[in-house]
Amino acid sequence: MIKELLFVVKMLAVTVVVLLFLQVRVGEDTIENHFHEWVQTSVFVGFFQDTADAFLVAGKASLTKATAKASVALARITKRKAPADDRSLPFQLKRHNESEDEEDQMPSASTHIRTAPRE
């Protein structure tokens, strides 16, 4: 019990030290702001965003197929006529800005915002 409490106290102290370090000003900005700008302009952000977009498209396609199969299976169990369309269950995976008639495809442009570095 005491070891766990000491661990929590140590981690709290480390967190406070790191937060205080990030508030140190270097030039006009804090270390935190410099790090944030570096992360936003990093080449790796684009790779991670493209990967996330691909997983979203794959997940959306899988969800559509799973709902279609589940609808057919439920129709067999309840001995009702199977639905004609693939979207018979009431949930869909969509982005907030996606229109109703947009098809499942890879985004043509990157979905994250790249900001210009400060001068």
Region 103-109: mean pLDDT is: 50
Query: Is it the case that residue 110 has pLDDT exceeding 60?
Result: no
Region 68-87: mean pLDDT is: 71
Which one-letter amino acid corresponds to residue 68? A
The reported pLDDT for the residue numbered 19 is 95
Distance CA 95, CA 61 (A): 13
CA distances from 96 to 38, 68, 92 (A): 27, 23, 12
Query: Is it the case that residue 42 has pLDDT exceeding 80?
Result: yes
Residue 83: which pLDDT band, with cuts at 50, 70 and 90?
low
